[in-house]
Amino acid sequence: MAETLEDIAAHMVAKDKGILAADESTGTITKRFDAIGIESTADSRRDYREMLFRSDEAMRNYVSGVILYDETIRQSAADGTPLVDLIKATGAIPGIKVDTGAKPLAAQPGEKITEGLDGLRERLAEYHSLGARFAKWRAVIDIGPGRPSHTCISANAHALGRYAALCQEAGIVPIVEPEVMMDGPDADHDIDTTYDVTERALKTVFQELYFARVRLEGMVLKPNMIVPGSNSKVKATPSEVAEKTVRLLKNCVPTAVPGIAFLSGGQSNENATEHLCLINQLGPLPWAVTYSYGRALQSAALETWGGKPENVAAAQRALLHRARMNSLAAGGTWTADAEKQAA
């Protein structure tokens, strides 16, 4: 099978499927394990991810790709099968998180720059040999007094452009993720502020992708939805979130981009699903519009699993339910009644 960038990107945003973000760093997944009393070890993290990837019905029907962490792409299941092979066996594509995290941006208090460009060409070559065919790089744009600065947006957009070009050089599809945060210490902004900041961020990102000669047909965009800050006194209705999100994307995202896979970004499981459904109901849209969710796909499965082998089947049913709900949303057919059905 030909592995052009365009073919891989099209598979990633295939109809009724989405991307499972299982790329939590060791620190992040340790916090989630701590919250439910599981010791975080290489084996327990492996067992958890293996449980997800062996959720056959969910993976085959509703998952197009899986974003992995450096540790995970190198691990094998308890029976010795590489986790990458478990993913491939379901028809999903393995991917890899390649940034090394968001660090404080010099001379810009409260702002961050994502690092990881040094040595990235060599790391991408190794990840390709390990089976990865797409990658992810997340930029963090925080809203607050005087934030985001032009420096923050432009520096992060430039890094995304360089990362995306290196990925395509290596035969890897870049997921471009400029996340305008809905939470944080000053997250009392309204939905129109989110719109304005996200517009600035996306227009700058696509300018940098152009300068870096990134082929838009061989990438996937992973943006935030247009929601108010988590502490905003002015709430937004789901239909308002959908309308503003679609209006913004039509203003900012070229039609050459094959697909948009939203991040859930602090929304509840059900809100992330409902918003995705309403966005798709405003179609037809010029791109495939689907999900690239981490917590909003996994949280119910993680809590159900609880580190106990006897809970694996129930945890896989919980993952199947959430994946099916988001698949319905990607097709614009999710309903609250479907949500209430037992997992």
Q: Which domain holds residue 325?
A: 5-340
Q: What is the share, in percent, of the chain residues with pLDDT greater than 90?
A: 94
24-61 per-position pLDDT tens digit? 999 999 999 999 999 999 999 999 999 999 999 999 99
230-274 per-position pLDDT tens digit? 989 999 999 999 999 999 999 999 999 999 999 998 889 999 999
CATH of the domain at 142: 3.20.20.70
Rounded Cα distance between 184 and 136, Å, is 22
Mean pLDDT of the chain: 96
**Confidence label for 1 from pLDDT (cuts 50, 70 and 90):** very low
The arithmetic mean of pLDDT across residues 204-227, rounded, is 98
Q: Show which residues are catalytic.
A: 177, 222
**Confidence label for 342 from pLDDT (cuts 50, 70 and 90):** low
Total structural domains within the chain: 1
The arithmetic mean of pLDDT across residues 201-205, rounded, is 98
**Confidence label for 187 from pLDDT (cuts 50, 70 and 90):** confident
291-307 per-position pLDDT tens digit? 999 999 999 999 999 99
Residues 6+ apart with CB under 8 A from 311: 304, 305
